[in-house]
Amino acid sequence: MGSPRCEHPRMSSLAEPTTPTPTDPDRPRYRIEAMTLEDVPEVARVERRSFTNPWPTSAYRRELGNPQQNHYIVLRSAEPSREQEDADSSSARSFGRRTFLPLSFGRRVGEEAAAKASPILGFAGMWNAFDEAHVTTIAVDEPYRGAGLGELLLAALFDEAGRRGANWLTLEVRVSNDPAIALYTKWGFTIQGTRKRYYSDNNEDAHVMWSKAISDPVYRHDLAILRHRLLQRIGGPVEGFPTEQPAHQIVETSGQPPWGSGG
């Protein structure tokens, strides 16, 4: 007997969001942007506060040197500090006066400086190869943890992986790193293997985790719901992070999950 003609569509495990996006849409609280070489010293400070075996700054410079394959982002507060606002508005005023340049030029320079001045709260990165995106790092500075920013960074990686035609995200995580394992599990990753003594500082094993196929409509639906809930939790839009899930560029894939089990 042939396989059943019409299967019941696999239902999403997540409930449809009921409440609309929060009422204060115009006040972005955070901004996601591409990591630049200028950011590396500050990223390195957060890195040292977040990892027991931190990457050297040279590693970030090398990664940023290959934007074709690599994608690195930083998450900043979109609300520059009061001092910074004051400092920049006065320099914008003086900038204009001193050199007769249009005031707007002085103001724009002030805004760019203010943007760059707002602290880096977290960062993330990945490598892209064919239909796989390999998450290489993700961290939120300790004082800002537990507020959904780790999810925001992961969701932004999903977006870019989809834009680049990846169909799966994968990563290694310390077997003892419960917060990170819980974060990835919440976004549909499962443990598909273990790398023995993977971490050089204490020979700790790594779990190898894989996402579900991003091209799977049920999974995409789940990701869209997680995104909606995340923006609700964060309390508004995020600069550089589309409210709606971007389209996914399908690249020819074998369809079989790379870990081969077909689970």
Ligand X SMILES: CC(C)(COP(=O)(O)OP(=O)(O)OC[C@H]1O[C@@H](n2cnc3c(N)ncnc32)[C@H](O)[C@@H]1OP(=O)(O)O)[C@@H](O)C(=O)NCCC(=O)NCCS
Contact positions vs ligand X (CB under 6 A):
50-51, 138-140, 145-151, 173, 177-180, 182-183, 186
Q: How far is the CB of 176 from ligand X (least distance, A)?
A: 10
**Cβ-based nearer residue to ligand X, 139 or 157:** 139
**Cβ-based nearer residue to ligand X, 50 or 57:** 50
**Cβ-based nearer residue to ligand X, 80 or 125:** 125
- Tell me how far apart the alpha carbons of residues 48 and 56 are, in angstroms, rounded to a whole number: 9
Q: How far is the CB of 30 from ligand X (least distance, A)?
A: 11
**Cβ-based nearer residue to ligand X, 88 or 151:** 151
Instruction: Report the residue closest to ligand X, judged by CB.
Output: 150
**Cβ-based nearer residue to ligand X, 151 or 159:** 151
Q: How far is CA 47 from CA 122, 125, 133, 174, 207, in A?
A: 9, 12, 21, 16, 21
Q: How far is the CB of 179 from ligand X (least distance, A)?
A: 3
Query: What residues pair up with 205 in beta bridges, in sequence order?
Result: none
Q: How far is the CB of 94 from ligand X (least distance, A)?
A: 39
Q: How far is the CB of 201 from ligand X (least distance, A)?
A: 13
